[in-house]
Structure 1
């Protein structure tokens, strides 16, 4: 464990130092995002039929696929990220303060990617205006699309407010050390700031965090998003009250994995081992294990209830799920990570940051595959069909696959750019660590008579 005392210069290092690795990573992320934009432009020219998502029934295929699976995945990452940050404040988990802002930024990036997927999957961007904004007073009552837009917008506003309030303290304290060419941004973020407001902001941030913790399981990823599927009785692979807990467990699992990956990247790039310590990574890995256990448990509930007298369609849907290499592989990957986390808890010498990073990547991949399979299989298995037979097989097109890489590139770019403007680690976290590194006063020695 590092004994070096963290300083303000440490968290300012990403802003002041731009290495060749930064430009290389920016180039790779930009290339991935650019390739997807090219594919999307092609889709706009010829329609969704280039992905096969417009066909169903007699033409084969499904109407939802990797686009919606990745949309759910990004929404889950976003919701879980802000839940982690909010829990740090509400529960006094100072240990994880160095990664709290990264979790907030992950939420901003995840919501941006999820919102982008809505526009892409609508086929024509102008439908956001004609179908949503123009008839909101009507569609808000019965349109899943409008509920998606409403939830994502509400969460984005909450997260941006949460992040903006905490940035005011940091920028006002370190203003002289920040680059002058971003002065308009800093002036806007600290407009009207006085030190007297610090206590008020702390209370405001606490209440926003409380609202986030309450809304997430009841309304957001534990509510609205799974309700879009769980309330459709003609789709046995979707229908049922278990979907809310399943979605929430996957959101938290994905978010912890994302935070581990981002924390490891910043720690390696800027030598932050004394800020994001090995103890933080161990703690994050244990939380990942807990949420992986939830993930496996809720999947087991789906399997058990779908295997015993669930009706013909329900039983068939469960059999299709268990016979899928994608689903079984995703479940096996999460269970393998869970076994590793349990093993390293019993034998701490098994832990390394690299292994924690690999575990996080495995879980993120597994959750993406599981959500995509969940969406596609729901269309494959229905109570009744207006077409003869069942929909044909589905395999994601190159444009769909490039969308995943493209949105990962987009979120990476967001992190790279934000890290050049504001600190990605809170000043409060550094101050807390500095207090922990203060040398203890030696007790007065007794003087012999």
Structure 2
């Protein structure tokens, strides 16, 4: 690990240095997103029938599939990301300050991907205007989709405000080293800025963090999203008090996994060993293990509620889910990650950053598969007898699968773009790191020659 004292130049490196690997990543991410756009334009031309999602009724199809499953997945990642950042500020967890902004940017990117899925799943983009914006005062009382739009919009504005307040401090102090081509943007970001506002901004950010911590379990991914599914009759096992907390644990496991992947990528690309330290990865893994444990425990509670003296239709659906290979594979992935984290706490030599990244990928895969299965399983065995004796069937189309690849590419493009405009590590984090290192040097025990 480098012992070089971190300087402002370190966090400016992504902005000032551009390699061929960067352009290669832009090309790969752009190609993935373009592939999805082509599929979406084909869907707009031919209709939702190209996905099979419109085949509902005696045909044994489903109306919701990978699109809505991926939508929930991205919303969970976004909500978990801002909760992680808010906890760092609210609880004084300075250890994780170098990755706090990455978590905030992950929220912005995740909400963008989730919002895009709403537009895609509407079938026609103009319905965002005709069904939601112009008739919001009517549809907000009856449409789960409009509530989703409301929650995402509110969270996006809250997070963007939260992020903008902290970026002003960095841009104002690093302006001389930032590229002139973004001058108008930097002037807009810092309009009216004076150093006297720093203390006020810190208090505002603290209160915003408190609001986020309170809203998340009550109104956002621990509240509104699971409540909306509770009123839909195609979810026979979706009842009981554990559903909100379960959604929240899935969000946090996904977000921590995403932050691990982002932290590793930036550390490796820009030699940030002294900024994103091994200690941060170890801490993130411990938090990942904690929420994986909660995730599995709440899954157990849901299975018990669905199998023990439950209504016949709920028991049938719960048994089908428990025996489904995708569900079993998802739970096995989370259990494997939990076992690794437990083992590496007992035997620290098992820890490596690549294994931490592998754990993050496994959790993200598990949560995505679990969410897709959750969305479609109710259509296989609905409470109302819409299929008769024939169970529903669902196989994601190529366009739906391409949407996952495309939105991942979209999120990559957001990070690749933002990293060229503003620092993805806060200047405050560097200042705290320098202060801690200075404090450690001052309190090092003096050595004397014998």
Deviation at 1:3, TM superposition (A): 2.7
Aligned mates of 1:340, 1:440 — CA distance in 2: 38
Alignment of 1:31 with 2:31, yes or no, is yes
Q: 1:336 Cα shift?
A: 0.4
Name 2:18's counterpart in structure 1. 18
Q: 1:67 touches 1:117 (CA, 8 Å); kept in 2?
A: yes
Offset of 1:2 from its aligned partner?
Answer: 4.1
Distance in 2 (CA, whole Å) between partners of 1:192 and 1:134 is 35
Cα distance, 1:232 vs. partner? 3.3
Give the gaps of 5 or more residues in structure 1.
Answer: none
What RMSD, in angstroms, separates the aligned Cα atoms of the two structures?
1.4
Aligned match of 1:90: 90
Q: Distance in 2 between matches of 1:109 and 1:261?
A: 14
Alignment of structure 1 residues 293-372 onto 2, 5 Å: 293-372=293-372
Distance 1:195 1:367 in 2: 43
C-alpha displacement of 1:389? 3.2
Cα distance between partner residues in 1 of 2:243 and 2:234: 15
What is the rounded CA distance, in whole Å, between the counterparts of 1:329 and 1:221 in structure 2?
24
C-alpha deviations, 1:93-121, integer Å up to 9, x for none?
00000000000000000000000000000
Q: How far did residue 246 of structure 1 move?
A: 1.1
Query: Secondary structure of 2:309's partner?
Result: coil
Q: In structure 1, what is the equivalent of residue 146 of structure 2?
A: 146
- Tell me if the contact between 1:237 and 1:377 (Cα under 8 Å) persists in the aligned partners: no
Q: Distance in 1 between matches of 2:311 and 2:287?
A: 37
Q: Secondary structure at the match of 1:58?
A: coil
8 A Cα contact 1:57 1:391, kept in partner = no
Which runs of structure 2 are paired with 1:223-234 in the superposition (5 Å)? 223-233=223-233
Matches within 5 A, 1:47-196: 47-196=47-196
**Distance of aligned partners of 1:235 and 1:143 in 2 relative to their CA distance in 1, 3 Å threshold:** same
User: Is 1:440 matched with 2:447?
Assistant: no
Give distance in 2, aligned partners of 1:314 and 1:297.
20
CA distance 1:208–1:392, shift in 2 (3 Å): same
Distance (Å, rounded) in 2 between the aligned partners of 1:429 and 1:271: 16
Normalised TM-score (structure 2): 0.97
Q: Is the 8 Å Cα contact of residues 222 and 245 (structure 1) preserved in structure 2?
A: yes
Q: Per-residue deviation at 1:268?
A: 0.3
Q: Is the 8 A contact 1:227 1:244 kept in 2?
A: yes
Alpha-carbon distance in 1 for matches of 2:411, 2:402? 14
Larger displacement relative to structure 2 (388-397 or 314-323): 388-397
The 5-angstrom pairing of residues 384-395 of structure 1 reads 384-395=384-395
Change (3 A) 1:103 1:386: same
> What is the deviation of 1:309?
1.2
User: What is the CA deviation profile of residues 73-105 of structure 1, one whole-angstrom value per residue up to 9, with x for unaligned ones?
Assistant: 000000000000000000000000000000000
1:410 and 1:376 mapped to 2: Cα distance?
25
Alignment-derived partner of residue 46 in structure 1: 46
In structure 1, the residue matched to 2:416 is: 416
Aligned to 1:211: 211
Q: Deviations for 1:196-253, whole angstroms, at most 9, x for unmatched residues?
A: 0000000111111111111111000001111111233553132333221111010000
In 2, the alpha carbon distance for the partners of 1:307 and 1:442 equals 60
In structure 2, distance between residues paired with 1:233 and 1:421:
47
User: How many residue pairs end up in the alignment?
Assistant: 446
**What secondary structure is seen at the aligned counterpart in 2 of 1:384?**
coil
Whole-angstrom CA distance in 2 between matches of 1:444 and 1:393: 72
Separation of aligned partners in 2, 1:290 and 1:152: 27
Q: TM-score, normalised by structure 1?
A: 0.97
